[in-house]
Each structure stands twice: as C-alpha cells, then as structure tokens.
Structure 1
Amino acid sequence: MSKKIKVLFVCLGNICRSPTADGIFRQLVANAGLQEVIQVDSAGTGDWHIGKAPDARTQAAAKKAGYDLSHLRARQVKPQDLQTFDYVLAMDEANLAHLRAWQQAQTYAHVDLFLSLVPETGYQAVPDPYYGGPQGFDQVVRLVEIGSQAWLTYLIKQHKLPVKTP
C-alpha cells in the first residue's frame, strides 16, 4: 500500500478525549503491526490549549490502563484536515456539527462520531470528563478502548490490511 490511511480524532480542547483516542488507537495500530500503514493524529475545535500536553488527569487515567500520552500536544483542527485525513472522528455531536459545517462535496474525509460503530456501549458521544472527577477519565479510557478496537477492525476489513500476528 503506497498511501497511508490517515485518522484524526477531534474533541473540544484536544486535552482529554481526542488525545486519549490518539494514544490508544496508535498503540492498537502498532500492536497490529500497521504503524507504517495507518497515521494517527488528534485535534480540538477550540484553540485554548494549543501546544499543551494532555490534561494531567487524562494522562493518569491512560497510564493506569497502559497508555502513554505524554508526547502528545494539542492543536486546533483546520478545514484542510478534511482534505488531508481519510477518517475524521468526533467525540460528540457538537464537534461533529463543527466538522460537518466545513465539509464540502469534494471533501475526501469520512466524518463521523467516534462511537458510531459501537452502539452497544449505550453512548453516542464520549462524555467530556473535564469538569468531573477521576471516574470520568477512567470511563473515557474504557469507551475509547472499545471504539478504537472497532475502528481498527473496520479499517482492517475495509482496506484489506495485513495484520501481523505476534
């Protein structure tokens, strides 16, 4: 495969939900031996945290589950991202609406809710844990693990990707 499959996760500030998805999905991709085939990134619709590391509570919840997010830095999503990325996955309906407002007929990206492939979770959106306690961050990790596995499985099937077995 000559062209990488590019996946972008989007939330509001890019310090809680989307970096969690970035880190977890990136690790699943590496575990499947697909890091040369799938490119992963995250961004926020807001500009408050550009250049900052993920929220300390986000990093702690991810680390407890075995994921390192310390290398990630927040950035703001741009309209061009809808031309660059193949899949742009929003963490909630408000961010999806923001992305869809930029979407044009010639937009290449598949724009959808991150949890769209896993209705069995009972959630359409990944809840924003920012103003809550630590249990909210743990819940985000659990939901993102489920959603990330579903998206990876989808991409493997959709693009007929060869998965390396350990």
Structure 2
Amino acid sequence: AGKRGYDLSSLRARQVGARDFSEFDLILAMDEDNYQNLLRVCPEAHRHKVRLFLSFSRRYRGQEVPDPYYGGAQGFDLVLDVVEDAAAEIIDWLRG
C-alpha cells in the first residue's frame, strides 16, 4: 500500500458494535462469512446498510476480497488492485 501512496499506519481493525448499525450509512463486508455474521447481529431496520464490498466492483463483482497473507507480496498487490477497483465505484455511488 505504501508503494502506491497509502499510509495505513493509523488504521486498526476492530469488531463491529451494535451502535455501528445506527451510526453508519454503509457497512461493508469483505467476504461472505463476514457478511452473514453482520446480518445475523444487525437490527432489521439497518440491514439495507450491510453490503459486500465487491458488490460495488465492476471487475471483481461476485467475488470475495482474497486474504493477502497466503499470496506473498503478489497477494497484497492483488488485494490492493481489488480494493482500488471497488473503492472507485463506491466513490461514484456516493456522489450519486
């Protein structure tokens, strides 16, 4: 990520909390397991906010974001390609 100009040093993973469903407009899951787990704990009124990250992707739609840890340096490059593709579409979607 750093080679492409992204500084991720301040980002930390955390568990989704109950308040997140009411506080955020969009909650993205990177894979089907996480998507199903989110739907299981999400209140019915907020289920429309939960989406698969790659549902926004043109190039990788219908796939899951791969786990980069099993692909070496190339795995991380692939994940970044996938994330950049979907992120561009998310930006377009947000701009409406």
Number of residue pairs the alignment of both structures matches? 96
User: Helix, strand or coil: the match of 2:69?
Assistant: coil
Following superposition of structure 1 onto structure 2, how do residues 92-107 of structure 1 map, counting pairs within 5 Å?
92-107=31-46
Structure-2 residue corresponding to 1:81: 20
1:101 Cα shift?
0.3
Q: TM-score under structure 2 normalisation?
A: 0.88
User: Cα deviations across residues 57-85 of structure 1 (Å, max 9, x unaligned)?
Assistant: xxxxx001111101112222112211111
User: Helix, strand or coil: the match of 1:106?
Assistant: helix
User: Cα deviations across residues 115-163 of structure 1 (Å, max 9, x unaligned)?
Assistant: 1022432652110112331111111111111100000100101xxxxxx
**Percent identity between the two aligned chains:** 47
| Alignment partner of 1:135 out of 56, 61, 74 | 74
Following superposition of structure 1 onto structure 2, how do residues 3-152 of structure 1 map, counting pairs within 5 Å?
62-107=1-46, 110-121=49-60, 123-152=62-91
Larger RCO (CA within 8 A; separation ≥ 6): 1
Separation (CA, whole Å) in 1 of partners of 2:66 and 2:94: 24
Q: CA RMSD in A?
A: 1.7
Higher percent of residues as strand:
1
Verify the 8 A CA contact 1:85 1:109 in the aligned structure 2.
no
Verify the 8 A CA contact 1:129 1:136 in the aligned structure 2.
yes
Verify the 8 A CA contact 1:83 1:108 in the aligned structure 2.
no
Q: CA separation of 1:156/1:88 partners in 2, compared to 1, >3 Å: closer, same or farther?
A: same
